[in-house]
Structure 1
Amino acid sequence: MYYNQSCGQRSDAAKGNNYGNAARAGFIRSMQRAAVNIYKTENSFEMLVFAPGRIKEHFHLDVNGNELTISYTPPTDFPRPEWVLREYSRGGFTRTFSLDESIDKTNISAKYTDGVLQVSLPLLAGKEEVKKEIVIN
C-alpha cells in the first residue's frame, strides 16, 4: 500500500508568485489534512485517521481502481468562530492512497470512534509479499 500526496490547492509559488504566502499555504494545508498511521497485521492493513471533532456521517470513503480516497466535508452550518488560537482544523480534508494487489478491495470496512477513523484493509489469501534474498555475484 502506498500513499499519494494529493492536494487540491496549489501554493502561491505554483501559481507563479515566488513571494509571500507559499509557506503559509503549506502550513494551512497541513492543519487541514488529517494525520494517518498505518500498521500491518497478519490479515490486514489497519489505517488510523486522526480526525477529532468530526461527524461520522460526513466522512466518505471511495475505492476507484487501485486508489482509496478518504474525505470529510463539514456540514454547511458548521460553526466558524473568530479564533484567538487555532492549532488544528475540524474542516474538510481529502487523502488518497494507492492500494496494491494484495488488498481485498471488496471487503474494506471502517468505523469512527473517539475521534479516530479506523479503516481495515483486509489482505487477499495467497497474495503474500514475495521475499527473496538476492545473491551478489
Structure 2
Amino acid sequence: MYYNQAWAAKGQEHGSASKLPLIRSMQRAAVSIYKTENSHELLVFAPGRIKEHFHLDVKGNELTISYTPPKDFPRPEWVLREYSRGGFVRAFKLGDTDDAKNITAKYVDGVLQVSVPMLKEAQQPKQEIKVS
C-alpha cells in the first residue's frame, strides 16, 4: 500500500478560505498505517469532521479517502491554528494481496479507521523450503 502525493487538496473546494494552495502540513489529514495478520489498517487523524462527509472509493488499485466540509461549516476567527478542519484528499495504491471489495471504515473519536483485508491466499503462513 503506497501513498500517491499527486492528490493534494487546494483551494476553497477543500475548506480553505483562500484560493491559494493550503500549506502542506495543514491541507491533509495525518495517516498511520499498520499491518496485521489479516489486513492493513489505516488511521486517518481527522478531528472535528462530520462522519457523513467522508468519501472512500476504489478505482482500479487505488483507494481514495476524501473529506468535503459542508458549505455552512463554521470558520472561527483563529488565534492559533495547527491543523485544518477543512477538506482533504489522500490516495493509496492497493497491493495485489489487498481485498478491495471488503474494505470497511468507521469514524471514532476523531479518527477514521479504515480496514483493508488481505485476500485469503495472501494469508498463508510462512513455509520454510529445505535446500537439498
Match of 1:21 in 2: none
Q: 2:43 aligns with which of 34, 41, 48?
A: 48
Quick one: which amino acid aligns to residue 2 of structure 1? Y
Identify unmatched segments of 5+ residues in structure 1: 10-23, 132-137
Q: Distance in 2 between matches of 1:42 and 1:127?
A: 10
Q: CA deviation at 1:8?
A: 4.9
Give the whole-Å Cα distance in 2 for the aligned partners of 1:90 and 1:72. Answer: 9
Determine the C-alpha separation between the residues in 1 that align with 2:99 and 2:21. 36
- Whole-Å separation in 1 of the counterparts to 2:71 and 2:63: 25
Instruction: Report if aligned partners of 2:66, 2:89 keep a CA contact under 8 Å in 1.
Output: yes
The answer to whether the Cα contact below 8 Å between 2:38 and 2:123 also exists between their aligned partners in 1 is no
Q: Which of 77, 81, 96 is the matching residue for 2:76?
A: 81
- Runs (4+) of structure 1 exceeding 6 A deviation are none
Identity %: 74
CA-based RMSD of the aligned residues comes to 2.1
Q: CA deviation at 1:39?
A: 0.3
User: Paired residue for 1:113?
Assistant: 108
Kindly report which structure 2 residues correspond to 1:1-137, keeping only aligned pairs within 5 A, or say none.
Answer: 1-5=1-5, 6-9=7-10, 28-127=23-122
Q: Report the alpha carbon displacement of residue 30 of structure 1 after superposing the two structures with TM.
A: 1.7
TM-score after normalising by structure 2: 0.81
Q: Report the TM-score when normalising by structure 1.
A: 0.78
Equivalenced residues, count: 116
